[in-house]
Amino acid sequence: MNEIALRLKKFWQGVCEFWQGLPRKWIFFSLLLCTIAFFHFYGNSTYGYLIGRVKYMRSLFAWLYNAYTAELADDSHGLLMPFVILGLFFWKRERLLKAVSEPWLGGLVIFAAGIILHIIGFIIQQTRLSAMGFFICIYGLMGAVWGRRWLSESFFPYFLVVFCIPLGSLGEPISFRLRLIVTNAVALLSHYVFGVDVIAEGTRLFSPDRLFEYEVAAPCSGIRSLIAIIAVSIIYGWVSFRRVTSRLALLAVAPPLAVIGNICRMMLIVLAAEVGGQEAGLKVHESTILSLIPYVPGFLGLGLIGMWIKKTWEGEK
């Protein structure tokens, strides 16, 4: 307990030191508050959606929250990502303070570009563009207040805001292809490795006697684990490696690892159904704990491949 208290005290001291050492903070946060207010009242041109019993129209943030929390949504990670970014900013706090320089007019140009992008999104009713514009505006404000070097130093982790842009229906083509890959892979593994006859038709799996049927539906496509593993690979690569090629190599293996993880989960469902019938397969499918299976090969694979890259490409022992 004492160790936890000491860690919390050290963390709070770090926050206070960073806050005290940050110049022109009141200017930045005043401008940030005005920007947030603008995007709250004039950030969205789509109408008629509800959160609870409250009807929202103009707020960009209400639209984002609605996208993150919608039923069967694949964008719930958007709620977590701002806290991840803030944590990484805290991790880089000493380098960021050293990077503070004089105010830079180029930051206002970036801010203006964000506003223009928002206006375009507002006119054509593409709120994703407005969300991108909002994040660009914040980036521009940081440059205008704390200088060009700050922008360069804060590019990572700030660019992780791309994971805050909801995919929505734009993710359906990716989701459908993932479903096809998983369906065909499970059918092949079932037949040639485990000796279980399974028929694949589109995104559905059948037993030859049609007693067992399972569809690899959109929520089971693995797009959530794909996004999570890609995000972790970017963070891990940027924090751990110096070379761009090392970071790109780790990013390149993230999608295959995510697919392998989802294949493992679907394979477990098929095997459970083969042994205990469709009810057993459904129990595995609906299990909260077993739904985490796709993440295990992904995170374990990233860790092992990362260690190999450090030893071979980065020259660490």
Q: What tens digit of pLDDT does each residue of 216-243 get?
A: 766 666 788 889 999 999 999 998 888 8
Give the separation between CA 243 and CA 239, rounded to whole angstroms: 11
64 and 131 co-located in one domain:
yes
CB atoms inside a 10 Å sphere around CB 281? 22
In a domain? residue 273? yes
**The domain boundary residue, chosen from 166, 195, 219:** 166
Q: In this predicted structure, what is the pLDDT of residue 100?
A: 92
Beta bridge partners of 200: 205
Give the DSSP letter of residue 238: H
> Do 10 and 90 contact (CB within 8 A), yes or no?
no
Mean pLDDT (whole number) for 128-152: 96
Mean pLDDT (whole number) for 52-66: 76
pTM of the model: 0.86
| Count of structural domains, the chain | 2
Give the separation between CA 213 and CA 196, rounded to whole angstroms: 14
Q: In this predicted structure, what is the pLDDT of residue 7?
A: 82
115 and 202 co-located in one domain:
no
208 and 140 co-located in one domain:
no
182 and 287 co-located in one domain:
yes
Query: Which of the four pLDDT bands, split at 50, 70 and 90, describes residue 123?
Result: very high
In a domain? residue 317? no
Q: In this predicted structure, what is the pLDDT of residue 29?
A: 95
In a domain? residue 74? yes
**Element of type H or E holding 213:** strand 213-215
**The domain boundary residue, chosen from 166, 200, 216:** 166
The residue segments making up the domain with residue 142 are 23-166
Mean pLDDT (whole number) for 271-292: 76
Q: Which residue has the tokens 């569809």?
A: 215
**The domain boundary residue, chosen from 118, 143, 166:** 166
In a domain? residue 203? yes
Please write down the long-range contacts of 280-288, taking CB distance under 8 Å and 24 or more positions apart.
281/212, 281/214, 285/214, 285/220
Q: In this predicted structure, what is the pLDDT of residue 219?
A: 62
